[in-house]
Amino acid sequence: MFELSEEQLMVRDMCRGFAEKELREQAVEIDKTHEFPLETTRKLGELGIMGVVYPEEYNGAGMDYVSYAIAVEEISRVCASSGVIVSAHNSLCLSPIYYFGTEEQKKKYLPKLCTGEHIGAFAITEPGAGSDSAGTKTVAAKEGGNYIINGTKNFITNGGYADTHVTLAITDKNGQKNKNTSFFIIEKGDPGFTVGKVEEKLGICASSTTEMVYVDCKIPEDRMLGAPGDGFKIAMHTLDGGRVGIAAQALGIAQACLEEGAKYANMREQFGAPIGKLQAIQWMLADMATEIEASRLLVYKAADILSKNGKNRRPASKYAAMAKLYASECAHRCAHKCIQIHGGYGYVKEYIAERLYRDARITEIYEGTSEIQKLVIATNILAEFAE
């Protein structure tokens, strides 16, 4: 059994209490209005959740990745939109700045990001470059002491509210594949940068998902992360942490499905008794509970490996992909069963089962589809047995 430390249990209890008090009722409303939960996101920053794993010298909470996974899980159990806001901010924006930024960059950006005063985002996906980051078309051209960026990113989580984001661009048009791109730090208000189309989505409706548009966007050369050509390396490193975050989000959604399904099964009567007495319902609940426990162990193991390996993410890559694959598909299956248990009531908005179903679906897509996770897992396995 994976036993949580006293600090990890404290994080779980704190986030669970906050979610019930601050997010439970709000989650229903913002799913309807699609309003970004800025106020509660700032409050999460005050609790240290917007900079969970980063050192106290940058205003972070200085905790481990298991604590981070627990925080995302507990928040997502009540509000999946808030869960992905926290995940994208921590895993995708802060992580590349912390691990690959200069000390000057870290001191400039991390303190306000870690407290939630500023919101962060990660811009890599393009209309023609999703899972294939090598298909990036955005270009950054050197001009004196600056870079001029042109291109469009899409499906960017937190995009409409990001004060700071990192973006991937080609810096060497003739360079070798996977060594011709670089990351840059972009600030809200940079000349030539605008937020484009705001996406209307099936689920996680209160998260902000937008285009990021760069038209002769001029930034100083000291905004590059790492060295020229490090883009692919930074992206792969960052996505391992991002996959653990989304796995934790999926785990929280799955847990909510089990809880809602069990509560309804105890309450709803048919044929003179609660439907929970029916073997068909019991088997659904048993399958859900078993898969959730298996998912939790995978997610926590992947997070623990991230904590122990720091900047060297190779040992975590396989387990991060496993956790994301299994937990996301578990969430989908649990959401399906939750609606089935509710019957017709699961299909109407009076109950949250239908929201859980809509929120669960995206977890199999972003941070790499289930098919991409299988490729990552298989590639690692083949490499292990070739050595």
Instruction: Give the residue numbers annotated as catalytic, written as ranges.
Output: 367
Are the C-beta atoms of 223 and 185 separated by less than 8 Å? yes
Angle at 121 between CA 194 and CA 8, to 5 degrees: 160
Tokens 């001191």 belong to residue: 107
Angle at 152 between CA 148 and CA 156, to 5 degrees: 120
**Cα(187)–Cα(4) distance, integer angstroms:** 38
Residue 151's CB is within 10 A of a number of other CB atoms, namely 22
**Cα(240)–Cα(176) distance, integer angstroms:** 23
Q: Is 139 exposed, middle or buried (0-12, 13-18, 19+ CB in 10 A)?
A: middle
Residue type for 346, please?
G
**Cα(110)–Cα(98) distance, integer angstroms:** 8
CA distances from 75 to 49, 142, 165, 250, 328 (A): 10, 42, 23, 11, 16
